[in-house]
């Protein structure tokens, strides 16, 4: 099984290389050359067993099946719920798939815990040391810190937008107390952080010098890890489901598509992307309008994204795998910040199973109150964007499954402002509220961030 770039200008590579590289060298995203066909799980199959089977389909010969199983077991032993993604009923034909039972209370843990295992496995064999860098809008960074803290063969650099993530989100990354985790608070927004990371990857000399690697939402292994929970939930539902996915970079929504392509969603694929007031993704999917705009702050900061990075893979699929078209589109977008996609491509997004809609800040807060009143549950603001959409368009007998992407306690200020209630951290989070934080504040300047990484790379070894 080989992985090729959405822009057509990179050598095909194997699964582990695609995972360690993050971005392809031509600036594109890796896609499998063909979709592995994977048998859906039986209702009683353990989550870790399903996960190992799905990874085996994508990893081919690069990792032995027994190793994959052991890695999945280690990865998911950190979850509070054995089924990893339990379902709860929110109302008639509306369910929530709870993805927040991992160590940092957001769905990013599901992928990051296994990615850290894959890195350790690969680097143990090759004897390399890597500098892993990621930009975070809040949750990826904490999940990466929890997964890579104390990793033996890598240093982790996390760029977060200074004062634009919640204090709890920040504490999950800044309190690990481990020398191989470096937190950089960047004076700018998430897109500034992401732009710096992209530019560092574009500098081939720098990449080689520090052994640069990425675990952002474009990482192939993250998408594979997230496809597993769609499969595990689909078998419990046992009939056609419409997935409603609170979306930012579109990694989670894409994972559902990947699950369907691999035969894991036998009743078909319908994915409704619910976005906040940063509605770039909705404008792209509904009207073909790709337009660069600054992100605005909303109650759901992990979705404050103006350039949804995984959309490039959807565009590749919608064009029938036309890498030249994808490359030209992104070149034009890079030049002018604005592209109008052809109607035929826009029609294809819906044919692939994707729709999208925007939920306002006021609707999000009202939805948090409504769910609390009706069920007694606190939900996080991202999840509320999804449950709002599930109710806006009820679909009769088709079951709606809303991805509950984070725990309410990760956004206590927002929960309090909307509902008047305190959202307490689960006991398993221990003392993160009182531990000392370590982070470095830096301007949004490529040279300064590059120098920081250069200076620390290889030195965080324990
Ligand atoms: C990352 C994140 C999202 C958005 O997921 P994408 O894969 O980027 O679309 C939604 N909700 C929460 C809580 C997140 O952390």
**What are the extents of the domains in the chain?**
87-104+221-419
- The answer to whether the beta carbons of residues 104 and 139 sit under 8 Å apart is yes
Mutate to test the pocket of ligand 1, among 248, 258, 281 (most ligand atoms within 8 A of CB): 248
Distance 459 CA to ligand 1 centre (A): 32
Distance 462 CA to ligand 1 centre (A): 32
Give 56-68 pLDDT, tens digit per residue: 999 988 999 999 9
pLDDT along the chain (462 residues), means of 10: 96 95 89 98 97 97 95 96 94 96 96 95 92 90 94 94 91 94 95 91 92 90 97 96 97 98 97 98 97 90 89 98 98 96 98 98 98 97 98 86 97 96 92 93 98 83 40
Fold that domain 87-104+221-419 belongs to in CATH: Rossmann fold (3.40.50)
Rg (CA), the chain: 20
Please pick, among 108, 198, 261, 410, the residue that the annotation labels catalytic.
Answer: 108
Residue 245: beta bridge partners? 273
Distance 248 CA to ligand 1 centre (A): 5
Mutate to test the pocket of ligand 1, among 99, 109, 247 (most ligand atoms within 8 A of CB): 247
Q: Which atom of ligand 1 is nearest to the CA of 252?
A: 7
- pLDDT reported for residue 352: 98
Distance 175 CA to ligand 1 centre (A): 22
Q: Kindly report the number of other CB atoms within 10 A of residue 135's CB atom.
A: 26
- pLDDT reported for residue 330: 97
- pLDDT reported for residue 400: 97
**From atom 2 of ligand 1, which residue's Cα is the shortest distance away?**
302
Q: Can you give the pTM of this predicted structure? A: 0.94
Backbone phi, then psi, for 94, in 5-degree steps? -125, 120
Tokens of 211: 């052994």
Distance 148 CA to ligand 1 centre (A): 20
Q: How far apart are CA 55 and CA 121, in angstroms?
A: 14
Active site residue 236: no
Q: Which atom of ligand 1 is nearest to the CA of 410?
A: 13
Collect contacts of 339-346 with beta carbons under 8 A, ≥24 apart: 339/290, 339/291, 340/288, 340/289, 340/290, 341/284, 341/288, 341/289, 341/290, 341/315, 342/288, 343/288, 345/288, 345/315, 345/318, 345/319, 346/285, 346/286, 346/287, 346/288
Give 220-262 pLDDT, tens digit per residue: 999 999 999 999 999 999 999 999 999 999 999 999 999 999 9
Q: How far apart are CA 139 and CA 425, in angstroms?
A: 15
- pLDDT reported for residue 202: 85
Backbone phi, then psi, for 425, in 5-degree steps? -65, 140
- The answer to whether the beta carbons of residues 1 and 36 sit under 8 Å apart is yes
**From atom 14 of ligand 1, which residue's Cα is the shortest distance away?**
302
Collect all residues with Cβ–Cβ distance below 8 Å to 396 and sequence separation of at least 6. Answer: 93
Q: Which atom of ligand 1 is nearest to the CA of 249?
A: 8
Per residue in 67-96, is it b (16+ CB within 10 Å) or e — as a string?
A: ebbebbbebbeebeeebbbbbeebeebbbb
Q: How far apart are CA 137 and CA 248, in angstroms?
A: 9
Residues with CB under 6 A from ligand 1: 106, 108, 139, 217, 246-252, 302-303, 382, 405-406
Pick from 144, 172, 105: which is nearest to 426 by CA?
105
Q: How far apart are CA 228 and CA 233, in angstroms?
A: 9
């Amino acid at each position: 099984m080989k992985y090729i770039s959405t822009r057509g200008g990179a050598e095909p590579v194997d699964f582990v290389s695609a995972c360690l590289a993050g971005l392809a060298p031509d600036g594109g995203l890796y896609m499998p050359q063909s979709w592995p066909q994977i048998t859906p799980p039986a209702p009683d199959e353990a989550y870790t067993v399903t996960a190992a089977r799905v990874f085996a389909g994508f990893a081919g010969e690069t990792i032995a099946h027994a190793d994959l199983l052991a890695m999945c077991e280690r990865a998911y032993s950190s979850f509070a719920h054995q089924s990893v993604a339990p379902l709860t009923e929110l109302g008639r034909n509306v369910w929530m798939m709870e993805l927040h039972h991992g160590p940092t209370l957001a769905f990013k843990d599901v992928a990051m815990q296994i990615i850290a295992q894959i890195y350790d496995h690969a680097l143990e064999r090759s004897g390399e040391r890597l500098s892993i860098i990621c930009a975070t809008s809040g949750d990826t960074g904490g999940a990466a810190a929890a997964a890579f803290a104390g990793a033996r063969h890598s240093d982790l650099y996390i760029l977060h937008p200074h004062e634009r993530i919640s204090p709890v989100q920040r504490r999950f990354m800044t309190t690990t107390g481990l020398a191989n985790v470096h937190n950089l608070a960047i004076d700018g927004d998430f897109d500034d952080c992401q732009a710096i990371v992209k530019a560092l990857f574009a500098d081939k000399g720098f990449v080689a010098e520090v052994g640069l690697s990425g675990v952002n939402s474009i990482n192939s292994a993250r998408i594979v890890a997230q496809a597993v929970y769609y499969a595990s939930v689909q078998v419990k539902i046992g009939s056609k489901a419409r997935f409603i996915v609170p979306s930012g970079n579109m990694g989670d929504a894409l994972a559902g598509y990947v699950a369907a392509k691999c035969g894991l969603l036998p009743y078909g694929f319908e994915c409704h992307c619910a976005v906040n007031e940063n509605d770039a993704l909705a404008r792209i999917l509904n009207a073909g309008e790709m337009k660069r705009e600054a992100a605005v702050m909303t109650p759901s900061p992990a979705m404050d994204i103006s350039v949804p990075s995984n959309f490039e893979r959807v565009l590749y699929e919608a064009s029938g795998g036309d890498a030249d078209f994808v490359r030209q589109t992104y070149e034009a977008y890079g030049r002018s910040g604005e592209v109008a996609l052809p109607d035929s491509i826009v029609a294809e997004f819906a044919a692939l199973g994707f729709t999208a809609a925007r939920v306002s800040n006021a609707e999000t807060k009202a939805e948090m109150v409504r769910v609390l009143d009706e069920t007694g549950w606190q939900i996080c603001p991202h999840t509320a964007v999804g449950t709002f959409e599930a109710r806006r368009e009820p679909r009769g007998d088709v079951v709606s499954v809303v991805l509950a992407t984070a725990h309410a306690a990760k956004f206590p200020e927002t929960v309090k402002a909307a509902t008047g209630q305190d959202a307490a951290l689960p006991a398993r989070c221990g003392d993160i509220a009182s531990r000392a934080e370590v982070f470095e504040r830096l301007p949004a300047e490529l040279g300064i961030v590059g120098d920081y990484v250069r200076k620390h790379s290889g030195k965080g070894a324990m």
